[in-house]
Amino acid sequence: MVEHQNADDGGSIVLAATPIGNLGDASPRLQELLASADVIAAEDTRRLHKLLHALNISTSARVLSYHEHNEAARTTGLLEEVRAGKTLLMVTDAGMPAVSDPGFRLVEAAVAQSLTVTAVPGPSAVTTALALSGLPTDRFCFEGFLPRKSGERATRLKELAHERRTMVFFEAPHRLEAMLAALQARFGPDRKAAVARELTKLHEQVVRASVAELLDWAGSGQVRGEIAVVVAGADDAPPARAVDHVEAVNELISGGARMKDAVGTVAEEAVVSKRELYGAVLAARQD
């Protein structure tokens, strides 16, 4: 079924991008809505009030918190406000709501009820980091934060091993070194990348180098602030074929490894199907 929304059907939800660092990036439209909205749903109400104070804005809006821990409980009530004709402004701590921030659940529910959802475009760490990276920008994908657990992180990166688009990630400073080590293990030490930190702020920094060089740089333990990591896509080489790795399996078997273990090890490193590699080894023996 095709979903329609009509801006004249009462209230609306406005997703508003807030500055990611420099307050001068707060658009006039954002400031107008902060002053005039009926309800403001904020990821952190304390940060919202600091923003209002910094911009010298007074608002009569009812301010509510809306974050990952209460969005399920708050969504229904906020939609009722919109159905009653209210203008609901959704803001997060920085950047665009619903993009690696609270807001998606609200939009999803509003769309299902054919309520009006619009946006105030503005600052974005994703596109800012991409533009400054020096890497191709014609095709890219945003991967958000990688899983914290090493096994889950390795699995995600395995899925991205042959991704040809430039990739943009977010990462916490205390996990940056582990992330770069995982990137090196899966993508190789020579893959080009960039680490962008404190974008639009006084100490903005963009470091462009190979993954191995960035890992050495991050090893100092002095990297601080909000971080985005941009990674070049894979070369245009065709995906690995299982048959190309039969010899590597046989070498491990010659060294004493069981066939099943050897296939598993090589398949993991080469990012090929275990089943296909096992079959290729058997076929080679029959030949």
Separation of alpha carbons 81 and 261, rounded Å: 59
Q: Could you tell me if residue 11 is left (phi over 0), alpha (psi between -120 and 50 degrees) or otherwise beta?
A: beta
Q: What are the residue boundaries of the structural domains of the chain, listed by start?
A: 12-123, 126-231, 242-286
For 259-275, what is the HEC assignment? Answer: HHHHHHHHHHHHCCCHH
- One of 3.90.660.20, 1.10.150.130, 3.30.470.10, 3.40.1010.10 is the CATH number of 12-123, namely 3.40.1010.10
- Considering only CA atoms, give the Rg of the chain: 24
What CATH fold (topology level) applies to the domain 126-231? Answer: 3.30.950
Reported confidence tier of residue 141, pLDDT bands at 50, 70, 90:
very high
**Whole-number Cα distances in Å, 202 to 20, 220, 225, 285:** 12, 21, 11, 64
Alpha carbons 71 and 43: distance in angstroms, whole number: 10
1 vs 11 pLDDT, higher one: 11
Is residue 147 very low, low, confident or very high in pLDDT (cuts 50, 70, 90)? very high
Name residue 229's beta-bridge partners. 169, 195
Render pLDDT for 225-284 as a digit per residue (tens, 0 to 9): 999 999 999 986 666 688 889 999 999 999 999 999 999 999 888 878 888 898 888 888
Provide the 3-class DSSP secondary structure of residue 134: coil
Contact between 199 and 217 (Cβ < 8 Å) = no
Query: CA 57: distance to chain centroid?
Result: 31
pLDDT tens figures, 170-191 = 999 999 999 999 999 999 999 9
How confident is residue 1, by pLDDT bands cut at 50, 70 and 90?
A: very low
User: Is the pLDDT reported for residue 3 higher than 70?
Assistant: no
Taking each helix axis from N to C end, the angle separating 211-218 and 176-187, rounded to the nearest 10 degrees, works out to 160
Residue type at position 241: R
Strand partners, 154: none
DSSP 8-state assignment for residue 277 = H
214 touches 207 (CB < 8 A): yes
DSSP state, 286? H
